[in-house]
Chain A
Amino acid sequence: MSELKLMKGNEALAEAAIRAGVDAYFGYPITPQSEVIEYLMTERPELRTGMVVLQAESEVAAINMVYGAASTGKKVMTSSSSPGISLKQEGISYMAGAELPAVIVNVVRGGPGLGTIQPSQADYFQSVKGGGHGDYKLYVLAPASVQEMSDFVTDAFDIAFKYRAPVLILSDGLIGQMMEKVVLKDQVERISDKDLIKMNGYWATTGKKDRERNIITSLDLQSEKMEARVHRLQKKYVKMELEDLRYETIDCEDADYLIVAYGSSARISQKAVELARKKGIKVGLLRPITLFPFPKKQLFDLANQVKGILSVELNAGQMVEDVKLAVEHKVPVEHFGRTGGIIHTPEEVLEALEQKIINHGHFRHHKTRESSIL
């Protein structure tokens, strides 16, 4: 039976992992995501479903344990926060290269360096532009609620196995730490070893029986073979863009101005949209749910309707670059965001919209008219 509970985002994600029939979780403590492994250790999922939970000696070891289990076709995941995710990048790149399904969760904190333990969205570039070395991308899901922390576990594994590729859930300290009500899904049984071999035996290293040997590697010393591998990966990314883009639009039908925001910034911006509309300013919100694939076409189309776009992010301006690329200079695009762990208020967002887009837009428009007269 599905169940309604009041939970922290990190706990909801951990519970969802057990219920999704995940085979193993390998992690290492780091604030603000330690509740994930703490919850799993307390819940004893080995007794509930047979799920393995292990605290590794480092983030590096944890991601490589994920690599090992994933190479055998198991449903396996890890979670961490920004500095720890940096350490995992080597393993993530290897998994992308070796075409392994796995789910990685980043409960983002402020950076660079050790930064702060407060919420941030400063890992956008790292998440959508590669992160590790080489020509690869991650499918990136950005939850904006505790409910989505729970729901996206299943969604992430569906995508990971559909494409045989690592998938990132890009959360942040706010979504991870806050408590909300959440409807938990029913328990799904873990896949038996026998069924796993039937499903994944054509590629996974489960032991050579009644077939040729399976090899999991990201290495191709022959350039032509390596290029073919890279092309194979790129085809997956094109397919992801065509089939698995996710986004949400709020109040966009009649909007004169647009806010683009994901995750916790989207929640705050949604309130800013309400405040603006109370003042008679028609503002809409586009929330990318997947950061890769990115809603490029939707932004391009909305740019024909609105007068300006504000990209609201808890960072110094990262997603704004992708918004600008998508809009192709049709309308002004500006960034607003607090950093260092400070969370912007809806009032601040509205003020930024007015200053950077609405009023500035008037000024710019006016100037253009003047110059055209001259």
Chain B
Amino acid sequence: MDILDIIKPENQVFCKTKLMTDTALSYCPGCGHGTAHNLTMEVIDEMGIVEDTIGVAPVGCSVLAYDFMNIDMTQAAHGRAPAVATGIIRTWPEKYVFTYQGDGDLAAIGTAETIHACNRGENIVIIFINNGIYGMTGGQMAPTTLEGMHTSTSPYGREIKNMGSPLKITELIANLPGVYYVTRQSVHTHKHVRKAKKAIRTAFENTRLKKGLSFVEIVSNCNSGWKMTPNEANIWMEENMFSYFPLGDIKVDGKLK
């Protein structure tokens, strides 16, 4: 059979996400950010809402998200994305506004902005990438760094007595009445990617229905920061991260699971 008989649109299984730019990703090979970007852009494309979508980029590895996401985006100060998104959704209530934030941004420096945007039930989507480390600044301890985990600022492992416990911000905000949908996903296998995409779609559909705040945590890896190969990092994540940050829905249709 001639190869050209196979390469036909109707046979196409995968293609480049339409709303991703051609700019080469700045993320390390094996990092989950690229997949999370793809899924978000696919959902926006499939829902046909690009004309009404405004994204908010954080400070951290995904500070340059706007280089890769081919939509209107505003880059926020460290931790302030939920406040920036509040300013946008309050003045454009018919738009789709989402923030894309890492664990240091959302759960350390931006804790106040996160909790209060959630508590007000802003009609936005928060996509939260939790890899338990500050990737961009070179692997320092994050609020979600696990007990005993080695980072450049916890070189002998995170000590609970001294450094506190890893913060389950997702469970914390799920208890706030303004929050409509909370789920924890991952993007390290095809099965998980499909589930994560479904969750992101649900979140944006909630915005469409003006249900309030939707929060999608994606537990991800940081093979560079964790000093592992991508495959080792994924195995380590399954074995260690998922027991502390269990995957699944936490709050659906405004009701805690």
Contact = CB atoms under 8 A, between A and B. Distances in A.
B52 interface: yes
Contacts of A43: none
B61 interface: no
A6 to B, nearest CB: 32
A52 B90 contact: yes
B95 A207 contact: yes
Interface residues on A, range: 35 or more
A67 B82 CA distance: 11
B91 A69 contact: yes
Contact of A67 (B54, B66, B71, B87): B87
A207 B91 contact: no
Contacts of B77: 64, 67, 90-91, 94
A56 interface: yes
A352 to B, nearest CB: 43
Contact of A205 (B50, B51, B72, B112): B72
Q: Is chain B's interface secondary structure helix, strand, loop, or mixed overall?
A: helix
A217 B95 contact: no
A216 interface: yes
Interface string B46-69: 000011111011000001101000
B84 interface: yes
A49 interface: no
B150 interface: no
B75 A68 contact: no
Contact of B80 (A60, A70, A206): A60
Contacts of A71: 74, 84, 87-88
A74 B95 CA distance: 14
B84 A65 contact: yes
A205 B95 CA distance: 11
Nearest to B86: A65
A61 B80 contact: yes
B90 A215 contact: no
B71 A68 contact: no
Contacts of B205: none
A66 interface: yes
B83 A56 contact: yes
Interface string A20-59: 0001101000000000000000000000000010101110
Interface string B83-108: 11111101110010000000000000
Given A65-B84, A68-B74, 7 more contacts: A61-B86, A67-B74, A67-B77, A69-B87, A70-B87, A91-B80, A205-B74
Q: 3 shortest A-B CB distances, which residue pairs?
A: A68-B87, A68-B84, A65-B87
